[in-house]
C-alpha cells in the first residue's frame, strides 16, 4: 500500500489539534489516492469545459502547502523550489496550473510529497511550542489570525480540491470511492 494513502484514525477522545490534523491527513490521503499511479497523459488530460488537470492539482497543492506554511507558520517566503522559479505569483496566479505539464509524473509526485513533508515538520514544530490559539506568523491589519485559522484554511483547500480530483480521476479511468482502500 502507498504510504501516502494510509489513513491513521485519531485516538479515542482526541482533542482539537489531533482531530484537525486527522482531517487534514485524511484529505491528503484521499487526494494522493485520486492522483496516484498515473502516467503523464492521465495527469495532463483536461476534461472540458474545465482546463483543470490532476497534474495541475498536484503542483497547485504543493504550492499551497508551502505558501500556507510560510504565511501562517514560519513568516518567511517559500523556499525551494518556488523561490528559484522567479515567478511573481500575484502577477501570474495560474502559473502552477499552466506549467504542470512540463513535469514528468515522478517530478509532480515528488514536488507534492516534499511540500507535504515540509508542512508537516513546520506544523509539528509550532504546535509543539503551544496550541492553536497562538497568533500565526501572518501580519494583517487588525492582528494576525491564530494558528487554528491557518490549519483550517489548509484543510479547506484540500477539501475543495479532493472533490475536483475525485471527478477528474473518475473521468480518467473510472476510479471511484471516498477513502483509499486500507
pLDDT at 80: 85
Would you call 179 helix, strand, or coil by DSSP?
A: coil
Distance (Å, rounded) from C-alpha 45 to C-alpha 35? 12
Please tell me the predicted confidence (pLDDT) of residue 140: 74
Please list, residue by residue across 157-172, b when 16 or more beta carbons sit within 10 angstroms of its beta carbon and e when fewer do.
bbeebbebbbebbeeb
Q: Dihedral angle at the C-alpha atoms of 60, 61, 64, 69, nearest 10 degrees?
A: -150
Q: Summarize pLDDT for 30-48 with one digit per residue, the tens.
A: 999 999 999 999 999 999 9
Angstrom distance (rounded) from CA 137 to CA 132: 12
Q: Which residues of the chain have pLDDT under 50?
A: 1
The pLDDT of residue 2: 86
Predicted pLDDT of residue 88: 83
**pLDDT at 44 (0 to 100):** 97
Find the helix packing angle between 105-128 and 16-35, rounded to 10°: 180
To which residue does cell 504565511 refer?
A: 71
DSSP class of residue 96 equals H
Q: CB within 8 A of 10, min separation 6: which ones?
A: 18, 19, 22
Taken in order of first residue, the domains within the chain and their CATH numbers are 3-173 (1.20.120.450)
Task: Please give the pLDDT value at position 144.
Answer: 84
Residues in Cβ contact with 108 at an 8 Å cutoff, skipping those fewer than 6 apart: 43, 55, 58, 59, 62, 100
DSSP class of 11: P
Entry pTM: 0.94
Residue 77 CB: number of other CB atoms within 10 A? 11
At 106 the pLDDT is 97
The pLDDT, as a whole number, for residue 19 is: 97
Q: What is the pLDDT of residue 68?
A: 94
Amino acid at each position: 500500500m502507498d504510504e501516502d494513502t494510509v489513513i491513521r484514525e485519531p485516538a479515542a477522545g482526541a482533542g482539537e489539534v489531533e482531530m484537525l490534523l486527522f482531517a487534514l491527513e485524511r484529505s491528503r490521503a484521499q487526494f494522493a489516492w485520486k492522483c496516484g499511479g498515473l502516467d503523464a497523459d492521465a495527469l495532463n488530460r483536461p476534461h472540458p469545459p474545465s482546463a483543470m488537470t490532476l497534474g495541475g492539482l498536484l503542483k497547485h497543492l504543493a504550492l499551497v502547502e508551502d505558501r500556507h506554511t510560510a504565511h501562517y507558520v514560519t513568516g518567511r517566503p517559500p523556499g525551494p523550489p518556488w523561490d528559484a522559479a522567479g515567478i511573481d505569483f500575484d502577477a501570474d496566479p495560474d502559473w502552477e496550473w499552466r506549467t504542470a505539464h512540463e513535469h514528468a509524473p515522478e517530478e509532480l509526485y515528488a514536488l507534492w510529497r516534499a511540500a507535504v513533508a515540509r508542512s508537516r515538520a513546520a506544523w509539528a514544530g509550532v504546535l509543539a511550542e503551544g496550541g492553536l490559539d497562538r497568533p500565526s506568523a501572518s501580519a494583517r491589519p487588525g492582528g494576525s489570525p491564530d494558528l487554528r485559522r491557518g490549519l483550517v484554511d489548509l484543510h479547506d483547500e484540500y477539501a475543495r480540491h479532493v472533490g475536483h480530483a475525485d471527478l477528474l480521476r473518475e473521468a480518467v479511468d473510472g476510479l471511484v470511492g471516498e477513502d483509499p482502500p486500507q
